[in-house]
Each structure stands twice: as C-alpha cells, then as structure tokens.
Structure 1
C-alpha cells in the first residue's frame, strides 16, 4: 500500500499500482526523496501537516517516521515563522538525537513545496498501552522509570530544551529485538512480540530501554504562529499551572509532568480526569487514589514533584536523582544492572561506588547497607497478564466450539455457580457488533443521528469524526477546534452537529457539506456539554465557568446565562417539551430552570460526589443522574423527589442514556463496564465489556436495537441490543 502525501486527503491509503490518489486525485509519490516509501498516517498535526510511517528502501525497508510541514496559516510572517521553527526543530533533534534515548534525526529536506524531517522509528509500545495491559505499576517500576528518564531529562535541560509534554503516551519502551540490534548485537531468531518480554542480559546497558518521544514541533508551531501569546503547550492534568496559564516552561515543569505520569502509572487514575473535576486541587490529595502501599521516600518525592507552586518543586532532574540515590549515573553512563531488574523499594538504593551524594545529610536517616537488585520472572511480577491470557483463550475457544452447549455443560456440570468470565466472554461475542478506530486520543463523546444511520464522535485529539453506523466507515473528519472536543450533539433533523470544546467555544457544523456554520463564544472556561432544544431554535451549553448558556441557533446570539451552581457544570439537558432545562454539577446537585424565563425552579440533592451526566426519559416525567459516587439516581421531575438509587458500578459513572421507549437505561464509567438496567425496578439486565479503559459516553439508536459507546482507549464500540 502507498500513502497519499496531500495533508488534507481524507482517505490517503492507496494500492501500489495507483499513480493518482483514489480519494483526492493528487499525484502519488512512490519514493519520497528517492528512498522513503510512505505507507501510513501516524497522526495529524492540527493544520501544520501530518506525521507518517515510512520505509527506507535503501536500508532494507527499515522503518522511519516522516514529519511533514504543510502549515495552514495566514500571512507571510506566519508562514516564514512556521518554516523557521520547523528548521529549529530539526536542528534541535539533530543535536538531542545523539542521545540513545531520543529518536535520531535522519534527514531534513524540501520536496513538492513541503518541508520534511525524517526520524528514527521506535519499535515498541508506549507506557500508556503498557498500563492498559497491566492496570497499574508498582513502586519498583516507578523507581526504574526514574532511573531511565531522569538522565535524559537532565541531558535535554542542559541543552536548553524543555520537553513540555511528558506523559505515558510519550515514553516508549523499545521492543527487545530492536533494542538488542540498536546496541550492536544480533537480534534473537524468534523475538518476543510483546515489548516488555525480555530476558535480563547483563551486557546491555539498561538506559536505552526507555525512549522519550514527541519533542513537539507541531505544539511549538501552534503556540507561536497560530495562537495568542501565552497559549497552552502540553496536556491537561500532566502539565503544571505555569504552562497552562501562561505557556511558560522550565525544568521543574517537566518534573511536574513526570510526577503526574508516575501517579497515573501507580494508580491507573488519569490526571486529566482529575484535573477536569478538581483543577489543580487533585495534587494535594493524590494519595487517596493509591491502591498499594508505597515507601515514605517515594511518597515524599512525588509530593514535591506535584507541588502547584513551581518554587516548591525540585528544580532539576539532578535533585530528584540525588534524593532517590538511583543506581545509575545521571550524566548518561548507566550501571551494568541487567535490563528490567527490580529494585527493592523500601530501602535506599546506592550507586555502584556506594558513595552518598553531597546532600544526603539533609535526607531522612536510612540503612547504610547496599542492597542488590532482585530480578523476578515476568509471570511472577505480572501474574494478571497470565491469568487474563488464559481467560481470553478459554472464552474464545468456548465461543468457537458451539458456545451454548459448552457453556451449558460447564455451567451445570463443572461450576455450581455460573463463572463470570464465561458469561462475559459469551456476552461480548454475542453483542459486540464492531469497533470504530480512527481517533488518535480519548473519544470523549458520541451522538447518533435521529435516523440511526450516522454517528458522530468527539475526541481530545481536537477533531469530530462522522461515521456510517451500518458499515463502520468513516465519512469525514471535522477540524477547527484548537483544544480537545468534549461533547457532540445532533440537531433533531440530523442536519447540524454542535460540538463543545476545552477551547471555550461551541461550533455548529453542516453535516452534508462538512463545513463549519458558526462559532459561539461567551464561556470563560471549557465547554462541558451541548444540547439542542426540541423546537430546534435554541442550543444550551454548560461549562466549567459554573454557568449554562442558551443560544439562538438562527443568529448565534446569546439569549441568557443561567447561574446558581457553585462549581463546574458538567451536563445539561432539555425536557422533551423544552419547557425545563436541567444541569448537573461538581457541587453534587442538579438544578432545574424555566427555559423561557430563566427562573430557577428547584435543586435536587442526594449524590455524594460530582453529578457527571443527566438525562430525561422521553415522556419527561423522570430525570436520571449519573455520578462519580458510583450510583445512578432517578428523580420525579414534578416534585423533585428521588425515588430510586441504582447501584452496581465499582467506580465513577460517566454517562447514562435512556432507550427511546424508556424500557432500558444504559450506564458506563471508569470500571470499563456498560450496564443495562430496567429503570422500572432498578434490576440489572446485563453487563457489556470490551473497552480497555474508562468509558466516557453511551448512546442508543432511536429504535433501541443498537447501543454505541466511546472510551479513553480511543475507540467507539457498536453493540447489538437484540442478538
């Protein structure tokens, strides 16, 4: 296959024999600069080009990464600035790429009016993917991470570079066979397929195992050329306040991000989600999310790395290294410790020469004896992987070999109680219709058109994708937001989509043309939800600025602002007759207003944590609310009384949806499960499992036969309700 290099091409993959792109008709480049064969789009750089996967035919088809500069900017100054910064990025990578833990720059050139830089391709997987497989890391893993990452941070900081976007997705673990080859030894004849399945090999330095990627050419360009001064560079939750508020970054900023990354890996809890709920307040209570005990030493280190005030943090990677006294030289020469060996976490880990650092007198008293590293086999260190693999294999086998008969035998002859893994395996295979993958980051919201034929998905990758719900084909991608898109909604006639974003705006889109109609501005913080009124004349939006705004869809003018909540408003919904508008909030309450007058009607209280989403039944008599307190509550709209609490989720509920006939209520959340309930008696109908991470959104088709769900794992799943 061959990839079209037109940065606006919606479907760039072509058969080898084509001379022109079958999607956009642009001429195809068989070999870029005579020897780079581009085969796949890795990411879209938000109006500045794309990043591709390519093969170097002059090096036995060795894979590499090709970054393209194709800026969509207005004015000569902006264009020249974009080119200047791209060149600076290439120079910076050329210098930094000499380090074994940073991708090497292979080429920089211009062709067909575009600029390109070519980098080393890192074979392996990032720590976010590894976390999805393992659920959480332990203290020994975090110390190992520090041992690998602190030297490379020290290196780039000494060269005047701040990474500004450290998170699990940007830390790669090299695959074993590439890692061995990279260090000059022959790869094994049958290399393991999973990157972290590697034998300890004492002759290989440990540091090359971890690679820091994405030094942010596109982020630098976006901030300098396209946006206002002080624009945020980084990722919410992982980036410190000085980056988010003013765009400033220092070595201590990267250390905050490393601390947030370590927290995510230790707990499995996303700093992004905590940030959206509590702002920077989460850094003061991060320990409450721990599911395992950690040493006092590591706790103190994370406390200091996660300080909101930059002056209270460590100011250099060397300080962190010195405090933890890791078994590797910070200057970049690793010890001879075997790869993936695990240090004992409860005592001080001394360097090879056993010398205490100069500042050790200020540290807590610890045992003076040197402790050796303990290497443990993978199946002992990570037993859950083995168990999961066995269960998945058994489940697939049962489905393949006459699932009903085998299950019946196992159920009644072997197990006195139906085994959960058998039930879940059979349910998933029966009800999961297809998986839609195309977004490069979390899929925060989905909506289904009234005709049940089209699905829209919104992502933190700043795009909205439109899908054919029957075939699963991507129809088009809508771009225009400058930050993550949090919510998406269809108008009642299915012709318009509204999208709300962290960039504080709402955009209206013409579905047929794929064009932006209008941008609504007025919120002073990120938009959290959007919904159309039943009469098609009004749009409601909620925001982290604690308000709900009503907009005239014809003119785009703001009608009124509804105030009353004391914290972030998370969800908004019109009653089916359009006379009442409801909103849920981080303040644990739901407020109802008269749509016409803006008068507050009542406040519903009962949840013990954030109200994450609300939904009316189609008859308008009942309001349902999902909450971070793990429950769903049903309320009588007429008198405001709670009449049922539904329990069953083991973590926060992020989304709820009624079927059109009100006979089924779907809920989903951080426990990665979708639960279907009978809303009349609160009984659970079934549980659907398949997502690898928390589920942000669920939606029914109007006929109730199909349910869609979106997740932090970057996918949308389509489920049959009638197998």
Structure 2
C-alpha cells in the first residue's frame, strides 16, 4: 500500500525530533517511529520535526549524501537527526531508509506498509474490516468511524483472514496450512488447527472429473458446484441429479467463475472474447454486440440464463454477495467493480428472475480484493490492494467516503544486527519474532 507519497511540498515532510524519533508527515496524517523500536507506528506531531543541523557531523552527512546520490538512493525527502547521528531518506513510493552517519550503514528499511494489502475480510454488517499484507501484522478497522481499533502481531505470516458472523472472532490462516481463531475482545487464541487443503466436493463429482485437470472448484453447502479446468472449460454440477453440465457460449478459455451460496440455482462464468449478436436480433445487437460478457448460469442445466455486458472491461474475479439481497460483483482489471442484482418477479404464478445492473463503482486503478453489503443500509464497501477502503451509498446523492489504511510494519524485514546500541538491547531485539 502506498500512502506515503513523500513528494516535496508543504504537506510532505520527513525528519527527526529531539529524542531521535523519526517523524513522517503527509496528507494522511503525521506518524512517528522510535529510533530503537521500529516495529511500531505511533501518531506524531509535525511541530516536533527538527531542522537540518549544522554541526561537526556535517562532513560525514555530506559524504553520506554524496554516496546516496551517486547510487540513485537520494530519494525526495532527506533529514538528519538533531545530534547528526541518524539520517533518513524518503522515496516517492513511501519507502524509507534510516542510515547511521557514523558507520555509513543502513540500519533500517521502513515503509508506511510492509506491502500491498493481500487479504481482507468484512463482518456481515460491514462495520468491521480485518486487513493483512501477507506479513505478521493484522489490523482491525472500524469502517464506520474510519479508525484502526486494534493491531495484532502474530508469530507467522498471515495468508488469509476471516471474520465470522458474530464479529468478535478473527480467524487467521497461515501459509503452512494451519489456522487458529482469536477472540477480539479478550485476545485469547484457540488451538492451532490444520485446514483442509482441498474443498469439499461430492464423491460422485470427483469420479466425473477424475480425468480432468481441474484449476478451480467453487461449491455450495449442498454440493452444487461450478468447475473450471486448466484448459478453460467450465461445467456446472447438480448434486441432487448427479449431473455434470457443460457451459456453452464461450469462444475462448473461461478465466473466472463463481457460485451462489444463498440461491444454489445460480453460477457465473466469464471469458474475455467479445460477443457477436445475430444481425436480425436488434435487441441483443444494441445491448450486447461487441461486448465482453459475464454469463449467469443455471446449475441444473449449465445453460446461460442471462448475459451481462462488462462495458469493455476485463474481469479478473467474480463473486456473489447474499447478506440482504443477491448481488453478483465483477472485479475489473482497471480497478472498477461492476454490480448486478437478481430481481425476482411473479408472473402468471411463476417466478421469473432477471439481472439488472446496479452500478459501476470506480475508486482507483488498484486491484479490488473484497466487498461487503451491510444488511440494514444501502451501502457498498470495497477494499483495494493499495490499502484504500471505499464506502459508497447507492442513493442518488452518491455519498462516498474513502479510508486510507495503514496495515503496519512487518518485523521480518528488520536488520537488528546492524543497529547501533548496547549489547543488552541488541540481544533483546534479536529475540524479537521474525
């Protein structure tokens, strides 16, 4: 996540205070790190930033500046501590280096984030969000108030986070396949468990796809599923009828699939080719001709129930949302999220469903990762890889708020052995979890 755009200007400053705390000020706020405890970000005070010193250390600072400049490491913001011992360099990307002027060594590599957001989870009501960056820190955010309410440091790198229905429990999954649950109120951790490496699928389906090279399977609690092969072929599976159905209509490999858990009749698939309508079918020609399409499918037959145009966008991910209504989201490669809603109507004693476009949500060019639809409010919430969370109203007022999150510092990147300090402190830091 890049929130630290340290461009030179009135609102972008980097420096040290009198106690050698590193202070960073940008449009999002002012933050500081202790010179020793670089693993913690605290709120800072921009008034604490000291001016560049003129002292006996000036020659050493000039030598370091020349070295950095010749190595293209000069950055866009530079500042020395008051006593001339430390020198900080900030780059446009938000990356920060801290140098020891005496030894001319880099003692810390910092960022306003350890990486882009990699995993996001929302509570069902959309009030809380858990964010992780693939490191050892997970932040819990109050979305309504735009505040981080808790930062959790874990012993291992987190690959995925979940927030179950109650909103009081955080489930952290790790890259080695293990996971545990944590009570967010008490901080108590449950027993470490190992996740199933393969999703549940019925034995009948496994037999049918045994000879296929399967890329992805998405399934419902009752066993209905949509299957994607490595060749790009898609199939729906009806568990009750034990029937595997091909998904016709695609003229290029399918790249995204999804299945609806709340209404197990539906699945969706996407392939990037453009649709060419029959020249005699004016309605389809006007709406769909030369469009890339998401196809909503009937699980029972595999047939396309509805064609949804993407307005020229390429879809990277499909996802159904069912908190208070059935919505299909298409995550576009340019950062847009396309939303369609299932509208059921009763005609002549029969239920007739169709899909209507709700909205195209534009925020930025970062990859959209997760969405949420609060039950009681007509609000859409989306999280992106660059660390922003967009809260958007569906009303005509187009109300929207954007939160720029800071997921934290990953302690795994620190080089404690290069830190100049006494032996006791160095031993303590070397014991810090990596």
Give the TM-score normalised by structure 2.
0.55
**1:453 is aligned to 2:127:** yes
Q: Deviation digits for residues 260-315 of structure 1, max 9, x if unmatched?
A: xxxxxxxxxxxxxxxxxxxxxxxxxxxxxxxxxxxxxxxxxxxxxxxxxxxxxxxx
Distance change >3 Å, CA 664–CA 450, structure 1 → 2: closer
| 1:672 alignment partner in structure 2 | 335
- SS of the equivalent of 1:121 reads strand
Alignment map for 1:465-480 (pairs within 5 Å): 465-480=139-154
- Which residue of 2 is the match for residue 402 of structure 1? none
Candidates 645, 650, 653, aligned match of 2:307: 645
Matches within 5 A, 1:693-708: 693-703=366-376, 705-708=378-381
Change (3 A) 1:98 1:468: closer
Q: Select the residue among 530, 539, 548 that pairs with 2:199.
A: 548
* Equivalent runs, 1:206-355 vs 2, <5 Å: none
Aligned mate of 1:125, from 92, 107, 114 = 92
Cα shift readout 1:177-220 (whole Å, capped 9, x = no counterpart): xxxxxxxxxxxxxxxxxxxxxxxxxxxxxxxxxxxxx979579x
- The answer (yes or no) to whether the contact 2:371–2:382 under 8 Å persists in 1 is yes
Q: CA deviation at 1:700?
A: 1.7
Separation in structure 1 between the aligned mates of residue 234 and residue 170 of structure 2, nearest angstrom = 26
Which whole-Å CA distance do the structure 1 matches of 2:227 and 2:154 have between them?
Answer: 27
Q: Is contact 2:234–2:254 with CA below 8 Å preserved after alignment?
A: no
- Residue aligning to 1:60: 51
Q: How does 1:364-513 map to 2 (within 5 A)?
A: 441-480=115-154, 482-483=156-157, 485=159, 487-500=160-173, 502=175, 504-513=177-186
Pair 1:619-2:299 in alignment: no
**C-alpha contact 1:38 1:55 (8 A) present in aligned 2:** yes
CA gap of 1:617–1:501, structure 2 versus 1, over 3 A, is: same
Q: 2:96 and 2:21 mapped to 1: Cα distance?
A: 25
Aligned 8 A contact 2:293 2:309 in 1: yes
Higher helix fraction (1 or 2)? 1
CA distance in structure 2 between the aligned counterparts of 1:215 and 1:612, rounded to whole angstroms = 44
Aligned pair in 2 of structure 1 residues 669, 500: CA closer, same or farther (>3 Å)? farther
Alpha carbons of structure 1 residues 37 and 518: separation in structure 2 relative to 1, 3 Å: same
Deviations 1:639-693 (A, max 9, x none): 3433233221512332423343545433222122122224443442322212232
Contact 2:89 2:96 survives alignment (8 Å): no
Tell me the distance in 2 between the aligned counterparts of 1:58 and 1:672.
37
Q: Please state how far the C-alpha of 1:591 moved relative to its aligned partner.
A: 6.6
Q: Deviations over 1:489-521 (max 9, x none)?
A: 332333433344555544433333345434444
Kept after mapping to 2: 8 A contact 1:655/1:696 = no
**What SS does the aligned partner of 2:319 have?**
strand
2:108 and 2:32 map into 1 onto residues whose CA distance is: 15
Between the aligned partners of 1:600 and 1:462, the Cα distance in structure 2 is 43
Query: Contact (CA 8 Å) 2:88, 2:96: kept in 1 or not?
Result: no
Aligned to 1:31: 18
Q: Distance in 2 between matches of 1:568 and 1:657?
A: 19
Relative distance call for 1:51 and 1:580 in structure 2 (3 A) is same
Higher relative contact order (CA 8 A, sep 6+): 2
Between Structure 1 and Structure 2, the one with more strand by share is 2
Are the structure 2 counterparts of residues 654 and 493 from structure 1 closer, same or farther at C-alpha, using a change threshold of 3 Å? same
Matched, 1:574 2:237: no
Cα distance change on mapping 1:457 and 1:36 into 2, 3 Å: closer
Q: 2:232 aligns with which of 573, 581, 588?
A: 588
* Residue 719 (structure 1) aligned with residue 392 (structure 2): yes
The answer for the alignment partner of 1:49 in structure 2 is 39
RMSD: 4.9
Distance 2:361 2:319 in 1: 14
Which residue in 1 is equivalent to 2:358? 685
SS of the residue 2:92 aligns to? strand
- The 2-side partners of 1:60 and 1:660 are apart by 53
- In structure 2, relative to structure 1, the CA distance for the partners of 1:466 and 1:50 (3 Å cut) is closer
Pairing 1:91-130 to 2, within 5 Å after superposition: 97=68, 99-102=70-73, 118-122=86-90, 125-126=92-93
Aligned partners of 1:48, 1:603: CA distance in 2, in Å? 56
Is the 8 Å Cα contact of residues 94 and 105 (structure 1) preserved in structure 2?
Answer: no
